[in-house]
């Protein structure tokens, strides 16, 4: 292991089953949208610098995530008592501030890329769960999360459907499920750090019911209940969810703290819902993707 080298990492976006803000217990699933990170270490760098590219363009909304990936690089280097010199760059397909876990993906990809740059033994020494915990520490430090978003981090790096306790940073359960995903991404942004936590905590008893459904792997029911609850608590119009139910979709939710909505669909229902969502007059875009079940730490 050393202080010179290049490394690469990637992590996926994710969708919400259970938003953990109300109870610190969460559930999420990986989505086949990606953030790629490249880290370079060496004495040529005066300190730690980061750069984020989103969908081919530099984004003014990326300031917090730039600080996040720099903090991830710093924390990994401190872990191995290496000089705090390096450069981290991420390129992402995941819209920022849309509830699709762009911060978790950026953190995971940056941590993995840093470990890769240090050397193969670094990954063996840290392991996937501790790698995610470093990213969570960084996210809390720069203020882009309320609960630490350990559920989002797990879905992003491990893939599949995960259930977590964010307070103890424990992975309760992981399972795989194949499905298409339809995502409605409004142009407006909604950053987690700006969320009304008090209103979210009011719905905790009912979010616990949704969490129990998730433990039984009734993910569609869990996410739909979660979605209606958080739409009410965070003042989002639930019309996209109602329209999804009219199309026969069983699982649809506000993702994270919004403003995006995610739906688990088959090809036929996805086509139908895509047409309906397009007719809502929401300024933004619709993304068709799939659940990602692959782990991105090896």
- pLDDT band at residue 268, thresholds of 50, 70 and 90? very high
Q: Which of 90-94, 98-102, 186-190, 255-259 has the lowest mean pLDDT?
A: 186-190
Positive/negative CA dihedral, 167, 290, 274, 34: positive
Q: Are residues 37 and 118 in the same domain?
A: yes
Is residue 297 included in any domain, yes or no?
A: no
Average pLDDT over residues 21-49: 95
Average pLDDT over residues 19-26: 95
Query: What residues form DSSP beta bridges with 162?
Result: 28, 174
pLDDT tens, residue by residue, 38-73: 999 998 888 999 999 887 445 545 677 899 999 999
Domain boundary among 175, 200, 220: 175
Average pLDDT for the chain? 92
Is residue 58 included in any domain, yes or no?
A: yes
- On the question of pLDDT at 193 being above 60, the answer is no
Q: What is the per-residue burial (b if ≥16 Cβ within 10 Å, else e) of 76-105?
A: bbebbebeebbbbbbbbbbbbbbbbbbbbb
Q: Are residues 220 and 131 in the same domain?
A: no
Q: Based on the structure, what is the number of domains in the chain? A: 2
Coil, strand or helix: which one is 206? helix
The two tokens of residue 296 are 């991105």
pLDDT computed for residue 59 by the predictor: 53
> 90 vs 5, 51, 149, 294, CA distance in Å?
17, 6, 20, 20
169-172: long-range contacts at Cβ-Cβ below 8 A with a sequence spacing of 24 or more?
Answer: 169/133, 169/136, 171/129, 172/215
Is residue 119 included in any domain, yes or no?
A: yes
Q: Are residues 164 and 263 in the same domain?
A: no
Q: Which of 208, 112, 103, 102 is nearest to 163 (CA)?
A: 208
């Amino acid at each position: 292991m050393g202080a010179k080298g290049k490394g690469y990492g990637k992590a996926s976006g994710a969708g919400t089953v259970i938003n953990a803000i109300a109870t610190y217990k969460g559930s999420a699933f990986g989505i086949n949208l990606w953030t790629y990170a490249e880290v370079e270490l060496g004495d040529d760098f005066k300190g730690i610098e980061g750069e984020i590219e989103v969908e081919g363009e530099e984004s003014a909304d990326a300031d917090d995530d730039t600080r996040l990936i720099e903090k991830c690089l710093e924390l990994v280097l401190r872990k191995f008592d290496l000089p705090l010199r390096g450069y981290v760059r991420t390129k992402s397909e995941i819209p920022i501030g849309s509830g699709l876990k762009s911060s978790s993906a950026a953190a995971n990809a940056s941590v993995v890329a840093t470990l890769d740059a240090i050397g193969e033994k670094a990954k063996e020494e840290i392991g996937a769960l501790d790698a995610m915990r470093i990213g969570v520490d960084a996210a809390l430090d720069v203020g882009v999360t309320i609960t630490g978003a350990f559920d989002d981090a797990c879905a992003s790096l491990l893939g599949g459907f995960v259930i977590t306790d964010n307070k103890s940073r424990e992975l309760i359960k992981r399972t795989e499920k194949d499905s298409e995903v339809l995502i409605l991404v409004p142009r407006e942004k909604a950053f987690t750090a700006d969320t009304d936590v008090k209103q979210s905590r009011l719905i905790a008893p009912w979010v616990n019911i949704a969490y129990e459904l998730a433990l039984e792997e009734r993910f569609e029911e869990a996410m739909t209940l979660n979605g209606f609850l958080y739409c009410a608590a965070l003042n989002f119009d639930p019309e996209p969810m109602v329209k999804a139910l009219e199309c026969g979709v069983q699982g649809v939710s506000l993702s994270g703290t919004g403003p995006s909505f995610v739906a688990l669909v088959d090809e036929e229902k996805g086509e139908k819902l895509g047409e309906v969502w397009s007719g809502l007059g929401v300024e933004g875009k619709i993304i068709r993707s799939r659940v990602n079940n692959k782990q991105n730490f090896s």
